[in-house]
Every structure is written in structure tokens, then in C-alpha cells.
Amino acid sequence: MQINGSGGNIRRTGFAKRHKQMSDINVTPFVDVMLVLLVVFMVTAPLLTVGVPIDLPNSEANNLPENDTPLSITINEDGKIYLQDEEVDLNQMVARITVIFENRKEDRIYVHGDQKVNYGRVMEVIGLLNGNGFSRVAMVTDPSR
């Protein structure tokens, strides 16, 4: 390097101007795609829940660990019984559950009972399940209130 006497400018000699290739990854498109996927999943996740609209009773109990594919029985305020989202007769319920579980009676079954339904109706369903060997029956409540 030489220092020019006029004004003290520094001048490079013998070096050609070269542009270095950028080795950094541009993550902006990746972040944009991830944010779009996050929004899509946040919107669609509540729509994936299957069930009959009921008013669950309140409880201070802790949540139970969930199965891979939980089976839910819903009893609405009129006393009608639904297996997942399909209405079933009380007499057909155990046979259909046995077919679904393929004799795996240790799997958990969730019972959703509307708080306006007669308690005897809920216990009739749970008693029928228990009497046929399904001992892991859990009642679902709404802890958010």
C-alpha cells in the first residue's frame, strides 16, 4: 500500500477487486413458509375434533393421559347416545365398541355427558361398559370454567 502525498488517501496496488461469494443461507423464505403452516394448523386444529355439541360440567380434576385414538361416547341433554359422532342404541353400543377395539378391553373410553342429562343415564352407559369388561372408562369435564 502506498500513501499518496495529496490528502492522505490510501490506494491499493496489486489487488484486483474481487467479490466474495455469499455462503450464508437466506432463511426468510423458510420462515415465511413456516409461519403460513403455523397459521393453517392453528385454524384447522379446532375443526378436527369430532363430537356432539354438549355443555360439559365443571371440574377441578387433573387431565388424564390420552390414547393414540381415543374413543368417545357422548350423551346429549335428551339422553341420546353417540359413538364418536354417530347416534347408537344402548343395546348396540357394546357390540360396536368391541368391534372397534378388536377385544382390546384395556383401551380407555371417554364418556362425555351433558350436565343437563340425568345422572342415571350416564351411569347406565358406564355400568354397561364396565359390565362387559371395559374397565378403563373416563368421564370428561370442562376444566376451563
CA-to-CA distance for 27 and 137, rounded, in angstroms? 48
pLDDT tens-digit readout, 23-41? 788 888 889 999 999 999 8
Is the pTM higher than 0.75? The answer reads no
Statement: residue 113 has pLDDT above 70: yes
pLDDT tens-digit readout, 40-94? 988 887 766 656 677 777 777 766 665 466 788 888 888 888 988 888 888 888 8
CATH number belonging to the domain at 51-140, selected among 3.30.420.270, 3.90.330.10, 3.10.270.10, 3.30.420.40: 3.30.420.270
Per-residue pLDDT band at 9 (split at 50, 70, 90):
low
CA-to-CA distance for 58 and 95, rounded, in angstroms? 31
Letter for the amino acid at 126? I
Can you give the pLDDT at residue 136? Answer: 82
Domain positions in the chain are: 51-140
